[in-house]
Amino acid sequence: MIVLIDIGNTNTHIGLSNGKKIIKRFEIQTARWFNDKSEYRNLFPQKIESAIIASVVPKSIPRVVSIIKSNYNFSPFILKYSNAPIKFNYPHPKTLGADRIANCIAALHIYGAPSIVVDFGTAVTIDIINADGLFEGGVILPGINLMTAYLSEKTALLPEVKLRNFKKPYGKNTEQAILAGLNTGFSGMIDTIIKTVMSEMNFKKPFIIATGSYAEKIAKQMRFFTHRDKNLTLMGLLVAYNNLKNLSEK
């Protein structure tokens, strides 16, 4: 069994794979990695052969590597731009988050090029793979939770509202007004970015893939998406793992 570990700012998504597909997935809070190491003895099945990590929390990497070494007696692969099975038309790829790289690996190897990947996480990332299969660039903006938390934190009267479906373009009270902004406004913003990217890149029929925590709730309201794939990041890790394993065996 191979363990795929996607460490985000809020949650860590974990996939268990047989090398071809994801058998099981679950998540833990990223803060948990900094608890007592002994609690991780039973986190994974006892018979795991290897692992790969993508992290946007740099201090978590040595911690998780240490936990895996001490509990499972092997060293995991770490996904980096330099070992990723994708090429970059980008001046400083080492500045890219490993989750964005994993998303693009999966988009290219599973769906094809050109592609646009939208990851609805703590932050929303929109990444572009050009017609030649190269990472071209991207867009970053605040996610739903950040937007609602900021509204509540920085205003005296506005409540923090949890996202739920709201079909009207405006509200009859404060909560509905915020929900209208989250649903109509947020999806409209993403649609506009995608439309502008497609025009700039001269994309005719790109693969447009939604992933991340809010992909199901937001992407289904939007007209551009061709696929919704909750396992995209983990599948990118699996593709990268198999590539690194093959290279290490040569």
User: For residue range 16-32, what is the model confidence (pLDDT) as tens digits?
Assistant: 999 999 999 999 999 99
Give the global pTM: 0.91
The verdict on 88 and 209 lying in the same domain is yes
How much is the average pLDDT of 40-59?
Answer: 88
Residue 218 tokens, joined: 């937001």
Under the banding of pLDDT at 50, 70 and 90, the label for residue 250 is low
Residues facing residue 118 across a β-bridge: 126, 210
pLDDT at 169 over 90: no
As a whole-number percent, the residues of the chain with pLDDT over 90 amount to 63
Residue entry with tokens 């994801």: 22
DSSP one-letter code for 94: G
The three-class DSSP label of residue 62 is helix
Q: Is 152 within a domain?
A: yes
Q: Burial of 169 by CB count in 10 Å (0-12 exposed, 13-18 middle, 19+ buried)? A: exposed
What confidence tens digit (pLDDT) does each residue in 67-80 have? 999 888 899 999 99
Q: Is 190 within a domain?
A: yes
Residue in 48, 221, 200, 239 with CA at minimum distance from that of residue 116: 200
The verdict on 128 and 66 lying in the same domain is no
Helix (H) or strand (E) holding 23: strand 22-29
Residue 112 tokens, joined: 């094809």
**Which one of 40, 58, 78 terminates a domain?**
78
- pLDDT mean across residues, the chain: 91
How much is the average pLDDT of 57-86?
Answer: 94
Q: Is 142 within a domain?
A: yes
Helix axes 232-249, 98-106, angle to 10 degrees: 90
Domain that holds residue 209: 81-236
How much is the average pLDDT of 172-193?
Answer: 88
Cα separation, 116 vs 203, in Å, equals 10
DSSP tally for the chain: helices H, then strands E: 7, 11
The three-class DSSP label of residue 213 is coil
Other CB atoms within a 10 A radius of the CB of residue 200 amount to 11
Contact yes or no for 82/249 (Cβ under 8 A): no
Least confident of 171-175, 179-183, 200-204, 235-239: 179-183
The verdict on 97 and 196 lying in the same domain is yes
Under the banding of pLDDT at 50, 70 and 90, the label for residue 95 is very high
Q: Where in the sequence numbering do the catalytic residues fall?
A: 99
The verdict on 127 and 156 lying in the same domain is yes
Cα separation, 166 vs 181, in Å, equals 10
pLDDT at 14 over 70: yes
Under the banding of pLDDT at 50, 70 and 90, the label for residue 153 is confident
The verdict on 69 and 90 lying in the same domain is no
The verdict on 115 and 56 lying in the same domain is no
The verdict on 112 and 191 lying in the same domain is yes
The verdict on 179 and 64 lying in the same domain is no
Q: Higher-confidence residue: 227 or 222? A: 227
Residue in 214, 6, 8 with CA at minimum distance from that of residue 16: 6
Q: Higher-confidence residue: 239 or 44? A: 239
pLDDT at position 207 = 97
As a whole-number percent, the residues of the chain with pLDDT over 70 amount to 98
Residue in 47, 183, 207, 187 with CA at minimum distance from that of residue 116: 207
Q: What CATH number does the domain containing 27 carry?
A: 3.30.420.40
The verdict on 66 and 166 lying in the same domain is no
pLDDT at position 158 = 84
The verdict on 104 and 164 lying in the same domain is yes
- The total of structural domains in the chain comes to 2
Other CB atoms within a 10 A radius of the CB of residue 145 amount to 17
The verdict on 62 and 90 lying in the same domain is no
